[in-house]
Structure 1
Amino acid sequence: MLALSASTIRSAFVNVSTRERNAIVVPAAFDESDWDRLDYVGWRDPKSPLLGFVVAEIDGAPVGLQLRQAEQATRSRPQCSWCSDVTLPNDVVLFSARRAGKAGRAGNTVGTLLCAGFECSRNVRRLDPPAYLGYDVAAARDRRIESLRAHVDSFFRDLRGDA
């Protein structure tokens, strides 16, 4: 992922109003991010813990989405729909996001199950033990990374309305 500044990140959001865009708090820790190991960047709003923000590179440009966590907890232990991590090292919650443009202003949203702290990039890069003799652990990791990128790209395109 390209290294991004706070102003670039803030201007990338497509499903928020101008007022909401100006209120987005970008964590200062982004300056220290290892951008080469991130497939998207995500964070939670410290003042509104139910709000989450994700920014991904779509067609070579940053695109941001505001997400809202459902207040109701899930009944079972769900699997993240982006990283599909089966070891579940973290919580997975239901997020909803307004669609961009006219559809979003009409109240249309899309929901998805995601890692609560947006740990997907770390989860897919973990080297798991081999499933069987001769199993290529590095190739499996590369497939998980590509799958994460495809899931993120598809979700962003769907919310922008160009899927």
Structure 2
Amino acid sequence: MHALTEAQIRAAFVNATRRERKSLTLPPDFDEIDWEKRDFIGWRDPKLPLVAYLIAIVDDEPVGVMLRLGAKQPRRRPQCSLCEDVQLPNEVVFYSAKRGGAAGRKGDTLGTLICSDFQCNANVRAKPSKIFAGEDPEAVRLARIESLRTRTEGFARRVIGED
């Protein structure tokens, strides 16, 4: 992912009002983000515990999605829809997002399961587990990174209405 400025981040959101974009809190580690190791950026708003943000790259442009933490969470530990890691060291939660444009203004939303604190970038870059024994570990890692990019872009496209 290429580095983004604060202005680019605020302008990227397709399902947030001007006021929401202006008041969003940037990631706490914004100045230290290693953009080379990110396929997307995601963070929870420390001022608004039920709000989170995700920025993916779609057609070489940042697309921001404002997310809301679901009130009711799954009983069993689900699999993250983005990294699809089966040996997660972290919690997976349900997030919903207003669709962009007219659909979102009418109340259309969609939901997905994501690592609660957006650890997906690190999860796909970790050494592959024993279930991949016999395969080239670096090839597995690169395939997982590419799959994360594809699924994240697909989610952003669904929010914008490009199903």
The bucket for the TM-score relative to the shorter chain is over 0.9
> Structure 1 pair 138/47, CA: closer, same or farther in 2 (3 Å)?
same
1:50 offset after TM fit, Å? 1.0
CA contact (8 A) 1:83 1:147 kept: yes
Aligned to 2:93, the other structure's residue is in SS state strand
2:25–2:47 contact (8 Å) kept in structure 1? no
Tell me the distance in 1 between the aligned counterparts of 2:141 and 2:75: 30
What's the CA shift string for 1:70-121, capped at 9, x where partnerless?
A: 1222110111010000001100000000000000000000000000000101
Equivalent in the alignment of 1:97: 97
Provide the residue aligned with 1:138 in structure 2.
138
Partner SS state of residue 29, structure 2 = helix
Q: Tell me, in whole angstroms, the C-alpha distance in 2 between the residues paired with 1:132 and 1:24.
A: 40
Distance 1:138 1:19, change over 3 A: same
Q: In structure 2, what is the Cα distance between the partners aligned to 1:115 and 1:67?
A: 13
Using the TM superposition, give the Cα deviation of residue 25 of structure 1 relative to its aligned residue in structure 2, in angstroms. 1.1
Distance 1:73 1:4 in 2: 32
Deviations 1:105-143 (A, max 9, x none): 000000000000001010000012444663211111111
Identity of aligned residues (%): 48
**What is the match of residue 57 of structure 1?**
57
Aligned residue pairs: how many?
163
SS of equivalent to 1:43? strand
Give RMSD over aligned pairs: 1.3
Where in structure 2 are the equivalents of 1:14-163 lying within 5 Å?
14-131=14-131, 134-163=134-163
Gaps of 5+ in 1: none
Amino acid at match of 2:87: T
Moved over 3 A (4+): 129-134
Cα drift, residue 150 of structure 1: 0.8
Q: Please give the TM-score of this superposition, normalised by the length of structure 1.
A: 0.95
Q: Give the Cα separation in 1 of the matches to 2:135 and 2:7.
A: 44
Is this contact kept in 2: 1:130–1:136, CA < 8 A?
no
Aligned equivalents of 1:28 and 1:46: distance in 2?
Answer: 9
Gapped regions of structure 2 (runs ≥ 5):
none
For 1:100 and 1:146, locate their aligned partners in 2 and report how far apart those are by CA, in whole Å: 25
Return the offset for 1:5: 1.1
